[in-house]
Every structure is written in C-alpha cells, then in structure tokens.
Structure 1
Amino acid sequence: MAGDRAPSSGTKRRLIAGAQRCITARGFGATTARDIAAETGANLAAVNYHFGSKDALLTIAMLDAIGAWTSQLDQAVLEVDSDAPLQRLERFLRGIHRTLTEQREMVVASVQAFAQAEYSEEIRGALIDVYEQARANLPKLIFGDSGEVTAQQRGVGSAVLAMINGFVLQWLIDPDTAPDPAELAAGVAALAPSPPTAGTE
C-alpha cells in the first residue's frame, strides 16, 4: 500500500489497534509482524517503517492499552454520585465491569503488560505511574475527600487496587462465575462493618 511508505498517523493508529487485537488473540510472545500486517491490511514493511521493530510496536500497543484502561477508570470515577463510601465503591466497580464487556481487547492487552514489565523498563515505568496515581486517587473516590491522602487512606487505595486487579482477572478467566460488584461490596462490608472515615490515621 502506497500510504504505508509515508508517515501517517492513521496508519500508525491502525497498526497499534491491530497489534492489540493480535495480543488479545495470540498473546504477546506468539504475535508476529505478519500477524499484525494481515490483521490490519498494511504492508509488512510498515511495522518496521513506523515503529522500528515488531517488539517496539507491541510495547507501544500495550502502553496504549494501559493508558486507555486508566482513562476508563477515570470515567468510572466520574460516574460515582453517592456519599456513602461502600456505595461509592460498588458504583465504581460497576463502571469497571461495564468497561470489561465493552473494551475486552484493551483490557486483555493491558493485563498482558504485567508479564512484559519484567523485561521492559518502559512498560514497568508506565505501570508504576498508574499504580502510584491509583493509590492516591482511589481513597478520594471512596471517601469523597479531595484533601491530602493519609497513610490509612493510602492503604485503602492499595486494597481497592488489589481488588480491581483480582476482579479483572477473575472476569477474564470466566465472566459467568466472576463476582459482580455487589458481591465484592458486600464482602468488604462483612470484613469491615465500620470503614475508616476520611482524615483518620
């Protein structure tokens, strides 16, 4: 294709999206440049031309998926409109649940980034940034507090982050048997009937 021989943001975007679909279908290690070219209808040479190598494209595709997943979390936060911490948590999880069904390819690609973080400083750095932001922002979501995050609230953020990761993995393995947000919220309530209030240490 003649368009693949000239710089084209449209071609690059198409290759990234195609790489994400290939990662979802085949896994990072099994995806080849030919797979991506076939998936997108682009020239095989376009992969190297725009990204330098197949692995560079796959890395960018996973970083893009991480960014998209973070945006989905942010959107879920914006949709929370309750004052009760437990209800805020459940509604937030419902927002995440919806993104799982709507954006499965993106979610799978972002989850595969965890394994590749062992070998890519770029992917590891992106995940570190995402996690650090989540630890700071999730307590504000749960408690509705825009002030400074206390050490205890940061612990809550870490716990909710662990819950999100576990929820996503269970859903990817089998959506039919994975817990729904109401079950998760009820489990949290059973463990901590009186959750800490904002600003406590």
Structure 2
Amino acid sequence: MGHREDLLEGAKKCLVEKGFVRTTARDIVSASGTNLASIGYHYGSKDALLAQAYIALMEEWGDVFQAGVSGEGGSLERFRQFWEGVVAQHDESGPAWAASLEVALSGDRLPALRALLAASQAEGRRGLVSTPTGTPEDQIDEREVRTLGAFYQALLNGLMIQWVFDPESAATAEELTEGMRRAAEAMVRPKGAEG
C-alpha cells in the first residue's frame, strides 16, 4: 500500500477508537506509519481524510450486511433481512455511528467536515434504497434517492440513536418489520375500518 491507502486505513482505525473530534493528525500518522505532510498532499486536510475514512467505513459495513439479503425486491422478508444485517453489524459499526452523531451534533464547530459528509448523503441514500428493494443502484432515480432513500436513512438514523442510547431497548429487525407492516396497513385501511 502507498501513503494514501495507509492514511485511509489509519484514519478508519482512529475513527473507530477515538471518533472525529478527538482524532488528531498525529494520531492518524501514528496509526498509519506515514508523515504529517502526507495528509495534506493526499487529502488536503485532516477533516477531508476523516470524511473519506468515514465513507469507507460505511461502505464496508454496508457490503457486509448486503450479502445476507435475498428474495424478491420490495418484500417484507427482504426488508427484515436488511435490518437483521444492520442490527448484526452493530458491534462493528457502532463506533462509526457514534462518530456520525458527533459530527451531526457539532453545530458549526466542524463546518468543513459536515459539508463533506453532507455531500456524500445522496450516494448513501442510493445504497439504502438498493439493498432492501433489490433495485440495482444504477436504476435508482433521483426522486427515489430523495424520497425512499431519505425514508430509509431516517429509519437507520433512528435505529442508530436507539443503539447509542440504550442497545437493550433498541428495535430488532423483527420489530422494525412488524412496525413497517402495521404502518403500511394503517395507511391503506379504509377510513373508519377497524384493524
């Protein structure tokens, strides 16, 4: 590996261990075996490197649980499998979730980092549509990214917050699936019908 890849791996390690705010450029250099000048040369800034590391962690995490999703696109079974994968990966992805909350709650203290992560949201939403629906990413249009992707992102962020606050009471894949089924039934039930 070259310095660019070494820096990315070191930054991922630091994100998991220390989060965004507590990770210094020297931490990354120490974890990667590179030098301080390499950060600026390859990524422009520590924050840009950390944003890329965060995106890489999320992609790796998504690749792992996507492998367990099969079945017809859009089915409740596929929805359940998707959330089973998310929940099963909590121990590995929990530190990255905590880091993303750290950035979200940082207000104006990390504007460059927030801007970099916000710019990656559309791609993340595209992946969130693809897995539970079975739609290839290149067939997902911008409207689906802005609607269905935002919906799945809201579910994921809500689950993430539940796990950060109290993993014991966080929703399971079965509970999320049952909640989705009930919500869908309530939306299509004729007005005044008993359920």
Shift of 1:181: 0.7
Equivalent residue for 1:181, pick from 164, 168, 173: 173
Task: Pick closer, same or farther for the CA change 1:114–1:101 going to 2, 3 Å.
Answer: same
Within the candidate set 114, 122, 138, 2:116 is matched to 122
Q: What is the total number of aligned residue pairs between the two structures?
A: 182
Q: Secondary structure of the residue that 2:167 maps to in structure 1?
A: coil
Query: How many Å apart are 1:93 and its aligned residue?
Result: 0.5
CA contact (8 A) 2:19 2:98 kept: no
- State the TM-score, normalized to the length of structure 2: 0.67
Aligned to 1:140: 133
- Measured on the aligned residues, the alpha-carbon RMSD in Å equals 4.0
Q: Deviations over 1:32-80 (max 9, x none)?
A: 112222333444444345434323322322232343344346x25x622
Give structure 2 stretches of 5+ with no counterpart: 189-195
Once the two structures are TM-superposed, the CA of residue 112 in structure 1 deviates from its matched residue by 5.0
Distance 1:45 1:83 in 2: 47
Alpha-carbon separation, structure 2, partners of 1:130 and 1:16: 19
- Say whether residues 1:100 and 2:93 are aligned partners: no
Cα displacement (A) at 1:189: 2.6
Q: 1:84 to 1:164 in 2, by over 3 A?
A: same
1:19-98 correspondence runs (5 A): 19-72=11-64, 75-76=66-67, 79-81=69-71, 85-98=75-88
Q: Where do residues 152-191 of structure 1 align in structure 2 (5 Å cutoff)?
A: 158-191=150-183
Contact conserved, 1:14 with 1:40, CA < 8 A, in 2?
yes
Q: What SS does the corresponding residue of 1:27 show, helix, strand or coil? A: helix
CA gap of 1:156–1:176, structure 2 versus 1, over 3 A, is: same
* Distance change in 2, residues 1:125/1:96 (3 Å): same
Matches of 2:80 and 2:54, distance apart in 1? 28
TM-fit CA distance, 1:94: 0.4
Q: CA deviation at 1:182?
A: 0.9
TM-score (ref. length: structure 1)? 0.65
